[in-house]
């Protein structure tokens, strides 16, 4: 298994910390203890943590999240669409995508999933592609309504490495052209959106 690292640029040096992937709070602890004057002083003692990856498909985010302990609620919309719309257990990504867009109740279902997760008061992970600010606005707003701290997880990667990872995937639900388009249009997170911004390097 490849080690997981959290990286932060401090005084022009990339400092890497080994992460225990069963406890994502340690990531925030390490980031906060390398604090600077430009970052809000946010307490991380609460379990009310909401984690949003700012990354395309094939960056390794789902594999990264799969290492966390079972007390983290992971919401993956592919799983939701598969359960709602696939036939005979056969999942077609694009067909389910279009069916979800046409279903007036789909957004209500997602909203209820988030409500249930936030009501429990434990850490919640949004394991989906949300590369632009508009798409993540509603989920961030809802998290804050429930008193959650919001954490953006970025997955720095160059396009060649992304293509290599895509080619190695045994099952490809989307084309690389779509992923490349996502890559070129990522809107990076800011502290006007999130309480924390945490770079995750998968080495």
Dump the DSSP string for 76-128. Answer: -HHHHHHHHH-BTTB--HHHHHHHHHH-TTHHHHHHHHHHHHHHHTS-EEE-S
pTM (two decimals): 0.75
CA angle 37, 42, 47 (to 5 degrees): 155
Burial letters for 47-83: b for 16+ Cβ neighbours within 10 Å, e otherwise?
ebbbbbbbbbbbbbbbebbeebeeebbbbebbebbbe
Q: Parallel, antiparallel, or unpaired: how do β-strands 196-202 and 4-10 relate?
A: antiparallel
Contact 64, 4 (CB under 8 A): yes
Based on the structure, what is the number of domains in the chain? 1
Domain that holds residue 57: 4-202
Contact 201, 2 (CB under 8 A): no
pLDDT greater than 80 at residue 99 = yes
Confidence of residue 203 (pLDDT cuts 50, 70, 90): low
Q: Residues with Cβ < 8 Å from 28, sequence gap 6 or more? A: 44, 49, 151, 196, 198
Q: What is the pLDDT of residues 139-159, one digit of tens each?
A: 999 999 999 999 999 888 889
Q: What is the pLDDT of residue 27?
A: 54
For the beta carbon of residue 123, count every other beta carbon within 10 angstroms.
24
> How far apart, in whole angstroms, are the C-alpha atoms of residue 171 and residue 197?
30
Nearest to 75 by CA among 12, 117, 26, 121: 117
Q: What is the CATH number of the domain that holds 104?
A: 3.40.50.300
Report in angstroms the alpha-carbon separations of 127 from 42, 57, 98, 182.
23, 10, 19, 16
Mean local confidence (pLDDT), 12-38: 41
Mean local confidence (pLDDT), 19-29: 45
The end-to-end CA distance of the chain, in Å, is 10
Q: Which of 15-24, 30-39, 46-55, 71-80 has the lowest mean pLDDT?
A: 15-24
> How far apart, in whole angstroms, are the C-alpha atoms of residue 197 and residue 156?
12
């Amino acid at each position: 298994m490849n080690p997981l690292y959290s990286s932060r640029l401090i005084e022009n040096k990339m400092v890497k910390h080994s992460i225990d992937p069963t406890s994502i709070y340690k990531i925030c602890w390490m980031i906060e203890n390398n604090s600077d004057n430009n970052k809000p002083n946010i307490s991380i003692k609460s379990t009310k943590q909401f984690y949003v990856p700012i990354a395309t498909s094939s960056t390794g985010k789902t594999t990264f999240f799969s290492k966390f302990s079972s007390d983290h609620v992971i919401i993956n919309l592919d799983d939701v669409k598969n359960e709602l719309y696939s036939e005979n257990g056969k999942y077609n990504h694009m067909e389910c995508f279009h069916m979800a867009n046409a279903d007036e109740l789909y957004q209500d279902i997602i909203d209820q999933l988030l409500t249930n997760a936030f009501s429990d008061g434990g850490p919640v992970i949004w394991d989906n592609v949300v590369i632009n600010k508009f798409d993540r606005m509603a989920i961030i707003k809802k998290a804050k309504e429930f008193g959650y701290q919001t954490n953006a997880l970025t997955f720095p990667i160059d396009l060649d490495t992304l293509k290599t990872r895509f080619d190695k995937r045994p099952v490809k639900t989307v084309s690389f052209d779509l992923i490349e388009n996502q890559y070129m249009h990522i809107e990076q997170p800011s502290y006007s959106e999130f309480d924390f911004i945490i770079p995750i390097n998968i080495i």
